[in-house]
Amino acid sequence: MEIARVEPMTTARAVRGPFDYRLPEPMVAAGVGVGSLLVVPFAGRRLLGVVVEVAAASDLPPERLAEPLEALEAGAPAELVRLGLWVAERYCSTASRGLALVLPPGTRTGRVPRSPKPRTERRAAITDAGRAALEPGSDARLGVRQRAALERLAAAGELAGARLRELAGADSVVLARLERRGLVERPLRELRRVPRFDAVGAPAGASRLTAAQRGCVAALVAGLDGEGPRERLLHGVTGSGKTEVYLAVIEAALERGRGAILLVPEIGLTPQTVGRVAARLGDRVAVLHSGLSEGERFDEWRRLRSGEARVCVGPRSAVFAPIAGVGLIVVDEEHDPSYKQEGDPRYDARAVARHRAAGAGAVYLAGSATPRPESWAELDRLELPERVDGRSLPPVEILDMREVAGGVGPLHPTTREALATLSRGGAGAKAIVMLNRRGYAPHLSCGACGAAVVCPSCDVSLVLHRGRAAVRCHHCGHVEPVPAACPGCGSVSITRHGAGTERIERIVGEIVAPAPVFRLDADAVGGRDGHGRILAAFDRADGGVLVGTQMVAKGHDFPDVALSVLIDADSTLRYPDFRAEERTFALVAQLAGRSGRGERGGRVLVQTLAPSAPPIAAAADHDAAGFLAAELVRRREFGYPPFSALLAIELSGADEGELAAAAAAIAAELGPRLGSDAELLGPAPRFRRRGRFRRRLLVKSGQPERDAAAARVALEQPGVRAALRGVTLAVDVDPQ
């Protein structure tokens, strides 16, 4: 008797699988095994379940074993089932949530799914008899349209019905007649829903590798062949041609019969990388991302599963691509925070990629101009210190905003002058101005009593958006009209403080007029293609300025950009977060890298109130190695990653008293269970959000697996479970 251990796909945390089912002979014969999807009877319902193990016997007596109701055709590879279960364990989630990550699109919920069907198309193909009918001297009598259709088909072999009508005026009646006479066949072909990309900016095209690139490729191929380290960091300045290295190693993996995964931060923000990979590898590459329709995603997934496509490109979820025999996993722009999933399980795609690569004997390659300190410390390093075009990195000028007199507004006089000079300089020169804050003004307050205009549900200021004549909360989406008077004292003197992208757009527009100004931020982007549309418009424009949030510093390359400006470079340093230094360095360095990629050379201006802050000073010197060395010293001193691992327990609730009690109960159970080298910080209050109070406990640990297990046990204690009623809990392993 064969027993299938099945994990039911339910979101309920209390369900503890797997559960045993008896496999009937036909299902065994049909090859039901690890990764198969079954419909099973479960607590009086029909549920979808995943087979996680097949065993010869069960601990339950045979009469208590039910049989699955149905085996679905779709399923996940066994390797990915193990990976999904590992993610569930590692990130303190449930098995079903971990498994949902690796299942085919459309089958990821507990409902018994309607799987998307392959799309088909009726085509026409010429037969041998059809070719004979076209021979001179044939006695076949053909109408004008019949002959035209056959001639087209003789040239093309096979065409879609609709295309044939276009080309030869042959409609379905004509085709039906030809088919009856045996002159054509009408096969039904499966059609692939092809996702589209717009490549923006610099053109693609294979280039000859530089000596430095060839050295990196050789080292990576050695890893692929088991003759060198398998975990690598490719540290290359912006413009040093990292993508060409990825492509060469992907091709080497394919030549060795192995597959590859290329992770990118966000497809929408990296159309150039994706476009280049697709152009080079053609049909061998599949793209998985959330912007696809369900049908497109299903088709891409199936092409990978069947082995028709051997390379997958996509954002973090592509780490679960169903590629057998994966030989290489590349994480491009490895410093990007989007590799961390925010929902449950809160997995880090970089850690999952590393784990998957290690299990598959594959090469793990993280690439960045501004790598994370963890990667710098842990991975064997390859360097691309120079740009492929031989140009040097642009000089960076730091503008100390403390030195300028009040009343000049958000732009330093040098910045204003540089923008004015650029627009006077004539056609073609472009600038990028970045400020990591949306809206017009981030704070409003009463000029009489000083009261700030704040969100009713969150402890944050409302942001003025002039374009929509409203103040908005960036945390909960609350919108209200711009207040005409202070709600506290009735004064009509409302003062605006600070600047967001909307205000900078306006100021820059006045300086560079009549040159165009484009704004790129979450408000301007709007729908699915908004981002690409704005970048394409800036690319086509003959001069002009792109103003925006950090979106402007990501993954594109405009050769005409001769000036880059970063406003309020130290804003990220003010976050109470141990990654603040790393993020600030990355922001300044990435923006600097966008400038001076073409003939015009480049100039970079960084406005800041903290000109001597190490991340800003090091980024201005293009000194990643210096910054990372100093940052690792600081991390060691404070016991932050990579010298410890962090685990956060986030709590929120509508009642502050209940929340405090729950946090205290967890702290009391967790503290004694942690290893002696672990440190429990908090519970610390965090700002109220969406009407909910929040608390956070943080564990710094030298042995994360041990302490994550301790956390799971602590959270199961009856006292804690009782205290958690009415409180929402999330466990965040390796919080970002």
In 293-398, where does DSSP find H-type helix? 294-306, 349-360, 373-378
Residue placing its CB nearer to Zn ion in the complex, 414 or 457: 457
**Is residue 419 a contact partner of residue 563, using CB atoms and an 8 Å limit?**
yes
Instruction: Give Cα separations from 730 to 17, 222, 656, 671 (angstroms).
Output: 21, 42, 17, 18
**Binding range to Zn ion, per CB under 5 A, among 21-29, 364-372, 480-488, 503-511:** 480-488
**Binding range to Zn ion, per CB under 5 A, among 108-116, 446-454, 581-589, 627-635:** 446-454
**Is residue 330 a contact partner of residue 248, using CB atoms and an 8 Å limit?**
no
Q: Is 462 in the site for Zn ion (CB under 5 A)?
A: no
3-class secondary structure, 709: helix
**Is residue 537 a contact partner of residue 475, using CB atoms and an 8 Å limit?**
no
Q: Is 486 in the site for Zn ion (CB under 5 A)?
A: yes
Residue placing its CB nearer to Zn ion in the complex, 304 or 471: 471
**Binding range to Zn ion, per CB under 5 A, among 69-77, 109-117, 272-280, 478-486:** 478-486
Q: Is 473 in the site for Zn ion (CB under 5 A)?
A: yes
DSSP 621: T
> What is the nearest approach in angstroms of Zn ion to the Cβ of residue 454?
9
Work out which of 182, 187, 359, 488 binds Zn ion, going by CB under 5 A: 488
> What is the nearest approach in angstroms of Zn ion to the Cβ of residue 693?
13
Q: Is 475 in the site for Zn ion (CB under 5 A)?
A: yes
Residue placing its CB nearer to Zn ion in the complex, 463 or 515: 463
> What is the nearest approach in angstroms of Zn ion to the Cβ of residue 650?
18
How many residues belong to the site for Zn ion (CB under 5 A)?
15
Q: Is 499 in the site for Zn ion (CB under 5 A)?
A: no
> Where in 690-726 does DSSP place strands (E)?
692-701
Q: Is 1 in the site for Zn ion (CB under 5 A)?
A: no
Work out which of 164, 326, 429, 455 binds Zn ion, going by CB under 5 A: 455
**Binding range to Zn ion, per CB under 5 A, among 121-129, 227-235, 239-247, 458-466:** 458-466
User: Looking only at residues 194 through 223 of this chain, which bind Zn ion when binding is defined by CB under 5 A?
Assistant: none
Work out which of 134, 218, 476, 668 binds Zn ion, going by CB under 5 A: 476
**Binding range to Zn ion, per CB under 5 A, among 228-236, 381-389, 477-485, 692-700:** 477-485
**Binding range to Zn ion, per CB under 5 A, among 144-152, 212-220, 325-333, 438-446:** 438-446
> What is the nearest approach in angstroms of Zn ion to the Cβ of residue 495?
10
Residue placing its CB nearer to Zn ion in the complex, 306 or 491: 491
**Is residue 304 a contact partner of residue 323, using CB atoms and an 8 Å limit?**
yes
**Is residue 19 a contact partner of residue 96, using CB atoms and an 8 Å limit?**
no
Taking the C-alpha atoms of residue 523 and residue 648, their distance in angstroms, rounded to an integer, is: 31
Residue placing its CB nearer to Zn ion in the complex, 355 or 688: 688
Where is 155: in which H helix or E strand? helix 144-156
Taking the C-alpha atoms of residue 196 and residue 67, their distance in angstroms, rounded to an integer, is: 44
User: Looking only at residues 121 through 140 of this chain, which bind Zn ion when binding is defined by CB under 5 A?
Assistant: none
Write down how long the chain is.
Answer: 736
Work out which of 1, 132, 449, 452 binds Zn ion, going by CB under 5 A: 449
**Is residue 258 a contact partner of residue 362, using CB atoms and an 8 Å limit?**
yes
Taking the C-alpha atoms of residue 612 and residue 402, their distance in angstroms, rounded to an integer, is: 12
Q: Is 14 left (phi over 0), alpha (psi -120 to 50) or beta?
A: alpha
First to last CA, the chain: 48
**Is residue 179 a contact partner of residue 185, using CB atoms and an 8 Å limit?**
yes
Residue placing its CB nearer to Zn ion in the complex, 124 or 458: 458
List the one residue out of 617, 412, 639, 382 whose CA is nearest residue 504. 412
Q: What does the binding site for Zn ion look like in residue numbers (CB under 5 A)?
A: 446, 448-449, 451, 455, 457-458, 473, 475-476, 478, 486, 488-489, 491
